[in-house]
């Protein structure tokens, strides 16, 4: 008998490490497919919108931001739909299906000829995003063991953040040299390799046998779940209002050559990698305190970037700190959402990525609007600060509601069992 086909056995430590690495590879591919558009946005605008680009580079870049927004909206739609509908599937089988969909959607993004079709392909390619991260986070948490839930989430997300250190800058450079379509074909190859790694490495894990669509969708009846989703959707927009337009920020404001954009992306990615790991560890200590800390740090980082983006050192320090503090928020927000979701865990783990990608779309759209209005490439930084402060206010509100319920003697939800209890 094999554990993958007939039921669970206890995997060896070596296989657990291999499985966690395979899950992180999926995060690496997702990070590449999502974020490579940021560095190649001017190239994609010039190729797909040649008429508009000839009239106004700024207008073409702003319009091309819809490529980023379409991907984000695909995540928003796909995450709850797939997670709720497929919660009972064996988790390995579901992850393989999602990786196959990623591969096909990314190939379509590379090959379709027009702007409108590429936007549609990016939407379709994004549909598996949230469900992959949600299910992979549940699997990683199970493999990591009790008391390490947020660290399991952070480990899966580490593939995404490492992609921003290594994958996105490298693929951005390749896209600048060989064309953005070649860049997306490389990303598709990463997904194919991940499919093979997951097929070989991941132990068999059952789905949630008690899951039903009705039970999973019950999350939408809970006030605190809506608070958690709003925190991610609004607060995380601060990152993407900057990240979506980091290439023209570096070239038009700081005055760096286009060849320096991959270096800026490396700095961004290093910040995200470090912040993600710190955020996972601190969220296992206290979700509330960690969220307050990281929102304050993100706000200060955006102020620094907006004030010093004209100077290379200011740009580098700003993007590093923005990336670090925003990435630290991701496992923190996911842990909060899983806490308040109660028995709707599959959809909760996926919905976090819907919320964060609403922030992605919101940041890209609002950043594009202020650029198109002639306010310049620093203006999205101040839009990001406004979104971050709004997220901070929502965080204060959700924990104030916790305190009010505690005073009334209403027990607060927590997650135990395979995920371990988590601090407040």
Give the rounded distance of the alpha carbon of 158 from its chain centre. Answer: 11
Task: Read off the DSSP letter of residue 203.
Answer: P
Does 8 fall in a domain?
no
360 touches 240 (CB < 8 A): yes
Tell me how far apart the alpha carbons of residues 125 and 117 are, in angstroms, rounded to a whole number: 12
Which three-class secondary structure state does DSSP give residue 145? coil
Q: What local confidence, expressed as pLDDT, does residue 415 receive? A: 43
* Contact indicator for 377, 243 with CB cutoff of 8 Å: no
Tokens representing 297? Answer: 């740090």
Backbone angles phi, psi at 37, to 5 degrees: -65, -30
In a domain, 322, yes or no: yes
pLDDT digits over 218-260, tens only? Answer: 777 788 888 888 898 898 888 888 888 888 899 989 998 888 8
The encoded tokens of residue 20 equal 């966690």
* Domain presence at residue 381: yes
8 A C-beta contact, residue 324 and residue 307:
no
Phi, psi of 87 (to 5 degrees): -60, -25
In the predicted structure, residue 53 carries a pLDDT above the cut 60: yes
pLDDT at 8 over 70: no
In a domain, 225, yes or no: yes
Q: Quick check: is 101 in a domain?
A: yes
Express each pLDDT in 161-219 by its tens digit: 788 778 888 888 898 888 889 999 999 999 999 999 988 888 877 666 666 667 777 77
pLDDT, residue 418, reads: 35
Asked, for residue 38, whether it belongs to a domain, the answer is: yes
Average pLDDT over residues 320-343: 84
Work out the angle between the directed axes of helices 13-48 and 115-126 (0-180°, nearest 10).
Answer: 160
User: Which residues constitute the domain of residue 51?
Assistant: 16-407
Q: Are 40 and 48 in contact (CB under 8 A)?
A: no
Contacts of 247 (CB under 8 A, 6+ apart): 38, 39, 40, 41, 42, 258, 261, 264
List of residues 6+ apart from 329 with CB closer than 8 A? 235, 236, 279, 291, 294, 295, 298
CATH classification at residue 27: 1.20.1250.20
Plot region of 179 (φ>0 → left; ψ -120 to 50 → alpha; else → beta):
left
> Does residue 414 lie within any of the structural domains?
no
Q: How many domains does the chain fold into?
A: 1
The verdict on residue 232 lying in a domain is yes
């Amino acid at each position: 008998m094999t554990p993958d086909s007939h039921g669970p056995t206890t995997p060896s430590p070596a296989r657990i490490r291999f499985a966690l690495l395979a899950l992180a590879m999926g995060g690496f591919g997702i990070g590449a497919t999502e974020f490579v558009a940021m560095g190649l946005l001017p190239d994609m605008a010039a190729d797909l919108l040649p008429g508009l680009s000839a009239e106004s580079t700024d207008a073409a870049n702003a319009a091309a931001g819809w490529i980023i927004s379409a991907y984000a909206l695909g995540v928003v739609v796909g995450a709850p739909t797939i997670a709720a509908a497929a919660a009972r599937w064996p988790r390995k089988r579901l992850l393989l299906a999602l990786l196959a969909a990623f591969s096909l959607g990314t190939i379509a993004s590379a090959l379709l000829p027009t702007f409108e079709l590429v936007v549609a392909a990016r939407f379709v390619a994004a549909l598996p995003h949230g469900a992959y991260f949600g299910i992979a986070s549940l699997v990683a948490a199970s493999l990591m063991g009790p008391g390490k839930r947020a660290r399991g989430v952070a480990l899966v997300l580490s593939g995404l953040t490492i992609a921003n250190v290594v994958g996105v800058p490298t693929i951005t450079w390749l896209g600048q040299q060989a064309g953005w379509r070649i860049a997306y074909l490389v990303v598709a190859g990463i997904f194919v390799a991940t499919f093979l790694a997951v097929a070989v490495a991941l132990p068999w894990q059952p789905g949630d046998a008690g899951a039903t669509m009705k039970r999973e969708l019950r999350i939408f009846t809970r006030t605190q779940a809506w608070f958690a989703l709003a925190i991610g959707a609004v607060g995380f927009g601060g990152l993407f209002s900057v990240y979506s337009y980091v290439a023209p920020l570096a070239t038009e404001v700081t005055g760096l050559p286009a060849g320096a954009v991959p270096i800026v992306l490396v700095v961004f990615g290093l910040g995200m990698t470090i912040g993600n790991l710190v955020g996972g560890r601190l969220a296992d200590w206290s979700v509330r305190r960690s969220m307050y800390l990281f929102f304050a740090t993100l706000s200060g980082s955006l102020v620094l970037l907006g004030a010093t983006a004209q100077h290379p050192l200011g740009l580098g320090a700003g993007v590093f700190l923005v990336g670090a503090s925003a990435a630290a928020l991701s496992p923190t927000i996911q842990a909060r959402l899983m806490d308040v979701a109660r028995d709707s865990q599959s959809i909760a783990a996926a919905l976090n990525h819907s919320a964060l990608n609403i922030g992605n779309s919101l940041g890209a759209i609002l950043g594009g609007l202020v650029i198109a209005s002639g306010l310049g490439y620093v203006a999205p930084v101040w839009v990001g600060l406004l979104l971050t402060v709004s997220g901070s206010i929502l965080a204060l509100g959700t924990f104030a509601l916790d305190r009010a319920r505690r005073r009334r003697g209403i027990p607060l939800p927590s997650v135990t069992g395979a995920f371990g209890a988590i601090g407040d």
